[in-house]
Structure formats: C-alpha cells, structure tokens
Amino acid sequence: MRIALAILCVLLFGVVAVTASGSPPLAAGPVVAPRHTPMPVVATTPPDVGERAARSYVRIWGMFALPIEGGDIPDDPELLPGAPRDYRGGIHEGIDFPAPNGTPVLAAASGIVARVDQSFLDWNREQQDIALDEALTLGYTPAATLDRIRGRQVWIDHGKGLITRYAHLSAVQPLVVGQTIEAGALIGEVGSSGYPQGGPHLHFEVRVGDEFYGESLTGDVLVRAVSRLFR
C-alpha cells in the first residue's frame, strides 16, 4: 500500500512540476480540425479556364458581319464586354464601335426583328442623374436603368436563344417587330442616345441565352473571342 502511494505521489508531483515550468506535455491530445478552410491569400485561376469558356461560344464564331461597314473590330478593353462602368456601379455588356453620328448601322446577321424603338423619348439630365445615383447606392445597375442607358435600340432574334442588340441609335429604319431581316440590311444610325456623355458610337451586344457574349472572359482570351465573332 505504501509503495502504491509513493508511486502515485511521484506521478502527481511530476505533472505539477511540468505544468508549473510552462513546458508542453510530452504527449499532446488529438488536434481539432478547423471548422472551415481559410481562403488563400492569393486566389489563382487555372490558365485554361478562360480558353474553355471561350470555346463554349464556338458555334457562333464567324456568324456575324461587322455592324458598321468598314469599321474595325475593337481591342481596347474599355470597349469590350466586362469593362467596369464606375459611373453606374456596373460593367459593360457589349462591344462598342466608335463612329461619327449618323453612320449607317447594319444587321450583323439574318433574323427576326424583336424590338425597334420607333417612338423614343430620351430622359433628361435630371432623370439620368437620379437613376445613376440610385445605381451607385445599390452597387449595381438595375435592369430598367441599364435599358434607358442603352437609348434607342433595335434587337434581332437569330434563333436558339441568340439575340443581337444595337444601342445608342440616333434613328431607326421603319422596321416592324416580327419582320424578317437579312444580314447587311440598314437598321439605323449611330448616335449617343441614352448616355450622351459616351459620345457617338454603336453599342453592339450579343446575348446568348441569359448571358452576354464574353461574360467571364478577360485579357487576350476576350480579345480573341471578340475577333472570332466576326467573319
């Protein structure tokens, strides 16, 4: 009995001594796994992700003629989809073709007229400022505001969820919704309706289902994808 008590005292004394010295125990207990995995300091995207996304558009590559005769395919990031638009807390969803006011705008491919703004009344500067202030407060551009910013428009439905939009027009041809239109047909004229501060240009937007063409693409991958859109 005395021997057992002595052994117990030695063990207890050793534990107290180790604890008092501040030294870690010889055998630590099981490590508890973190409840979540911390995000890395620098998040990277595999280099081929953008290329894979671009290839998803392959079915419409080369489908369109330039909507402005003699125009150049833009490669300036500010003129391409995804460019930030800080004045309204949003991003650009189309391809901008700078051109003089009144420059003819042509249907980029055959299709059915889905919208034509024959009767169009632009908003005044006060209305615009109120809408843009609201967008900045929200941190994004509401759909109705974005539609007003695009100004006078023509939309052409090419089937299978593919639509082209021609925006900021100064005038449109006497088109009718449901009318068949051929590639190269005159549909309107370049202007700056909706957002005159942007100057005269054609905003050419390609909608693929619920997405705009070029969404999620950046850099050289985006530039190549835009150039491949036209024949």
Q: Which of 194, 161, 201, 180 is nearest to 107 (CA)?
A: 180
27 against 174, higher pLDDT: 174
- Tokens matching residue 37: 């995995």
Residue 12 scores a pLDDT above 90: no
> Predicted confidence band at 45 (pLDDT cuts at 50, 70, 90)?
very low
- Other CB atoms closer than 10 Å to residue 167's CB: what's the count? 27
Question: In the predicted model, is pLDDT for residue 222 greater than 60?
Answer: yes
**Residue-wise pLDDT tens digits, 50-74:** 788 788 899 999 999 999 988 899 9
* Cα-based distances in Å from 71 to 67, 155, 183, 227: 8, 20, 16, 13
Superfamily of domain 62-82+92-122+150-229, CATH level 4: Glucose Permease (Domain IIA) (2.70.70.10)
Chain mean pLDDT for the chain: 84
Band (47; pLDDT cuts 50, 70, 90):
low
- Spell out the domain ranges in the chain: 62-82+92-122+150-229
Q: How confident is the model at residue 213 (pLDDT cuts 50, 70, 90)?
A: very high
Q: Which residue has the higher pLDDT, 15 or 112?
A: 112
The whole-angstrom separation of Cα 231 and Cα 221 is 18
What is the C-alpha separation between 178 and 111, in angstroms, rounded? 9
Reading across the β-sheet that carries 171-172, which strands appear in turn?
Answer: 104-106, 186-189, 171-172
How large a percentage of the chain has pLDDT more than 90? 74
- CB within 8 Å of 148: residues ≥ 6 apart: 123, 128, 131, 194
Is pTM beyond 0.75? Reply is yes
